[in-house]
Structure 1
Amino acid sequence: MEHIQSDTRTPVHVIGGGLAGLTAAITAAESGARVTLYESHRTLGGRARTADGPYRTNEGPHALYHRGPLCTWLARRDLLGPVASVPPLEGLRFRFRRAGALRALPPVALLRLSRRNPRTAPVDAAFRDWAAGQVGDEGARAAAHFVAAALFHHDPGALSARFVQERLRRLTSLPPEARYPVGGWARLVERMAGHARGLGVTVETGARVDPRTLGELARTGPVAVATSLDAARVLLDDASLTWESGRTVLVDLAVRNRRGDPFIVSDLDAPGWVERFTAQDPGLAPAGEQLLQGQFPIGPGVGKAEGAARAEELLDLGFPGRRERTTWRSEALADGRTGAVDHPGTTWRDRPAIVRGDGIFLAGDQVAAPGLLSEVSFTSGLEAGLLAVRDAGRRSGSGVDLNQT
């Protein structure tokens, strides 16, 4: 990785204390920069916050993928902490809804398609068209619905074949890539924040930055804007900062334990997914209860009630007696908060660029950076931090010292 030594006379500012912002701040501070991080909320974490109380829910699934760059980066800094993998026996409790019935196995065509090298999938074709040519219409449809677990999109078949196939391959890899931070995302955020402070990063929470304040900060040093794309568009007054994201209903449910409940129920009739997160991390719910988290993508203009109704159907099918066993429930609509999706003819390189000019750099889960889910925030945060340090060196007149580490 490129390492840049900065002249500390020029400060680096980071706006946003989520995963992207913390990564940018740590990266800049490790290069010697004087860094201040501004977070509008009273706590850090952004979309990686974990709810307080007995039910430790997150805004959607909170898995890390251990073959990706984020896990490696965290482990090198001793920030990964305890993580849980899928328990071997739970892997046998994977269930699929097909033609309205619960089944133990997916279609063979889905499994065949999941082994295809993503590089063989064209960028400029829709996934459903390419996949149907590989394994037939039924397998293509099932695969599109299955991979919605990592896309949060109501019609994955309409997206770029390369984009979807890359995610299908990683989602079905064996052994499974998914690793779960014990205690939820909040524990990981705490470790990253502690590391940032240990490097000298000044963290200001409850600090809302408006366009005028941003302009003042930018006159003193480079700024990494690590907010949602919607917030960045307003903050930078830049109408070009748009990219499609998913729209999904998130359902969190606590139920009393019942022997034999599945680990995961994947809806292959429509995009939908329920996972029993206490299978790998029992501390997410009180003793004797288990925490289910599901997401059900819906299209533009469709109300939350439709996604919630589909959730009811899948829960009833996969978790018998769950209505009588329910002890707590929450649901929310995540609109444009689930990362970028790429349509045919586009790749991550076509998303809003990290470099915005005049010492402004962009980071987040909808910008021009590769990766699966949270890896986009991480990769863009890393790049934004390095570029900010380079810019600080130019401003100070000291130049930069590039080393390979």
Structure 2
Amino acid sequence: MHRITIIGGGFAGLTAAITAAEAGAKVTVYEAHHTLGGRARTAEGPYRTNEGPHALYKGGPHWTWLQQRDLIGELAPLPPLEAARLRLRHKGALRRTPPFAMLKLLRRTPEQAPVDKDFRTWATEIAGEEGANAAAYYSAVALFHHDPGSLSAAFVQERLRRATKLPPEAHYPRGGWATVIDRMAARAWNLGVRVETLARVDTIPDDHGPVIIATSLDAARNLLKDSSLTWTSGRTALIDLALRALPRSRLLLHSRLRSSGGTPMIAGAPTGDAFVVSDLDASGWIERFTAQDRTLAPAGEQLIQGQIPIAPHESRADGIARAEELLDLAFTDWRDRVTFRREALANGRTGAVDLPGTSWRDRPRVDRGDDVYLAGDQVAAPGVLSEVSFNSALEAVSLAFKIRARAGLDLKHA
């Protein structure tokens, strides 16, 4: 029986642990915190918030893997009536439709954007400056970067297509991501995986067997004392809000005032709380998660989560101020309805972004030599968002034990 050590009990670590155990390995997972999940943890209590907005993209390989093992659980359905309340801020006003020029970049064509050119330059040649900027900022929902237009055109194009696909690829586990993590942890335990929490690993012993480091790239760099373990990521201001739902009488009055000219009419503004607000003037995304999943907040309250990417010279306060501008446009009297509020800054914790001339193949490699392997969202593996963690975890296990054929772990890297 093979023996393997996994450092980190987040999504990547649990994926690696399950895969290795299914292949017959004896697995030990060390997790520094008292709970598993990493950035996929969901807060306990009445407001079930994740560390920033989380979605599970159906088109990726991890979807099939999770589904085959019954690890996804119940999904929150996309409410048909709320789906029409996607709002886009463009030129300072809320609108229901994107600029026409942006639609040119959403066509399903075989044309592949170049790796060595930035997205803004490439997209401007197709859709003009306005369309290119709008498309770049819309893609920020899957990028968490303040300037998507400056990134590799191929990198941004893939995420733009996945984020705008119909029917939507993004799905949400009912009750938050913790429900998926709990199912993964249960499967790991049932397979005999030994899990030790509150167990921080500071050094790797000389006589170790295969070790998979499934932590942030910063933590892996410190653990391995390897200064080459760096890659570009983003800085994102995060905001969680719970608002009292607008009474129906207020909604009706608000609607009548707007239709009679009693209040200023914002272009395309909703009469109730928006479902999603995407900023096309800058990077930013706000979503009302309880529109799909009422279990995330107490009855009569709406849970809203937003991510506003910020530049290196900007502060968290700058990002929160932009989030409040979007809230002012899309959520009537929201300041008077707040029952819960939390803010945070995610610095280098939102996955890898590829600059022009680079792709996922150029990121820190999974195999570090001497039976040490990396898994996580900033290493050399394909995919979008959590798919990178998943693919790198499978690659790490397959390299550690050379069990591709036996465990069915072949990854078809595009």
TM-score, normalised via structure 2 length: 0.91
Instruction: Return the alpha-carbon distance in structure 1 between the equivalents of residues 300 and 404 of structure 2.
Output: 56
Instruction: Return the alpha-carbon distance in structure 2 between the equivalents of residues 168 and 334 of structure 1.
Output: 22
* Residues 404 and 356 of structure 1, relative CA distance in 2, 3 Å threshold: closer
Could you say which residue in structure 1 is the equivalent of 2:260?
none
Q: Contact 1:255 / 1:291 at 8 angstroms: preserved in 2?
A: yes
* Structure 2 counterpart SS, 1:36: strand
Any residues of structure 2 matched to 1:4-403 within 5 Å, and which?
8=1, 10-117=2-109, 119-211=111-203, 214-216=204-206, 219-258=207-246, 260-390=272-402, 402-403=405-406
Residues 254-307 of structure 1 show CA distances to partners (whole Å, capped at 9, x for unaligned) of 001125211001111111110000011110000000100001111113111100
Question: Aligned-pair distance for 1:403?
Answer: 3.2
* Structure 2 counterpart SS, 1:230: helix
Q: Contact 2:23 / 2:407 at 8 angstroms: preserved in 1?
A: no
Question: Aligned-pair distance for 1:84?
Answer: 1.9
Instruction: Return the alpha-carbon distance in structure 2 between the equivalents of residues 18 and 131 of structure 1.
Output: 36
Greater mean alpha carbon deviation, residues 283-292 or residues 83-92? 83-92
Code of the aligned partner of 2:284: G
**Percentage of identical aligned residues:** 66
Could you say which residue in structure 2 is the equivalent of 1:394?
none
Name the structure with the higher strand share.
1
Code of the aligned partner of 1:344: P
Question: Aligned-pair distance for 1:85?
Answer: 3.6
* Structure 1 counterpart SS, 2:298: coil
Could you say which residue in structure 2 is the equivalent of 1:397?
none
Ranges of 4+ aligned residues in structure 1 off by more than 6 Å: none
Aligned length: 384
* Residues 40 and 401 of structure 1, relative CA distance in 2, 3 Å threshold: closer
* Structure 2 counterpart SS, 1:339: coil
Instruction: Return the alpha-carbon distance in structure 2 between the equivalents of residues 88 and 383 of structure 1.
Output: 39
Residues 125-169 of structure 1 show CA distances to partners (whole Å, capped at 9, x for unaligned) of 000000000100000011111111111101100000000000000
Q: Contact 1:68 / 1:375 at 8 angstroms: preserved in 2?
A: yes
Q: Please, what is the CA RMSD of the aligned residues?
A: 1.3
Instruction: Return the alpha-carbon distance in structure 2 between the equivalents of residues 91 and 401 of structure 1.
Output: 42
Question: Aligned-pair distance for 1:220?
Answer: 3.4
* Structure 2 counterpart SS, 1:370: coil
Question: Aligned-pair distance for 1:404?
Answer: 7.0
* Residues 404 and 199 of structure 1, relative CA distance in 2, 3 Å threshold: closer
* Structure 1 counterpart SS, 2:348: strand
Could you say which residue in structure 2 is the equivalent of 1:393?
none
Residues 188-212 of structure 1 show CA distances to partners (whole Å, capped at 9, x for unaligned) of 000000001111100000111012x
* Structure 1 counterpart SS, 2:140: helix
* Structure 2 counterpart SS, 1:138: helix
Unaligned runs of 5+ in 2: 252-271, 409-414
Instruction: Return the alpha-carbon distance in structure 1 between the equivalents of residues 8 and 201 of structure 2.
Output: 9
Code of the aligned partner of 2:205: G
Q: Contact 1:150 / 1:171 at 8 angstroms: preserved in 2?
A: yes
Instruction: Return the alpha-carbon distance in structure 1 between the equivalents of residues 353 and 33 of structure 2.
Output: 27
* Residues 403 and 270 of structure 1, relative CA distance in 2, 3 Å threshold: same
Residues 97-130 of structure 1 show CA distances to partners (whole Å, capped at 9, x for unaligned) of 1111111111122222122547520100000000
Unaligned runs of 5+ in 1: 1-7, 391-399
Q: Contact 1:119 / 1:162 at 8 angstroms: preserved in 2?
A: no
Instruction: Return the alpha-carbon distance in structure 2 between the equivalents of residues 335 and 23 of structure 1.
Output: 24
Instruction: Return the alpha-carbon distance in structure 2 between the equivalents of residues 78 and 194 of structure 1.
Output: 11
Residues 165-190 of structure 1 show CA distances to partners (whole Å, capped at 9, x for unaligned) of 00000000001111101111111000
Instruction: Return the alpha-carbon distance in structure 1 between the equivalents of residues 220 and 82 of structure 2.
Output: 41
Q: Contact 2:398 / 2:404 at 8 angstroms: preserved in 1?
A: no
Q: Contact 1:340 / 1:365 at 8 angstroms: preserved in 2?
A: yes
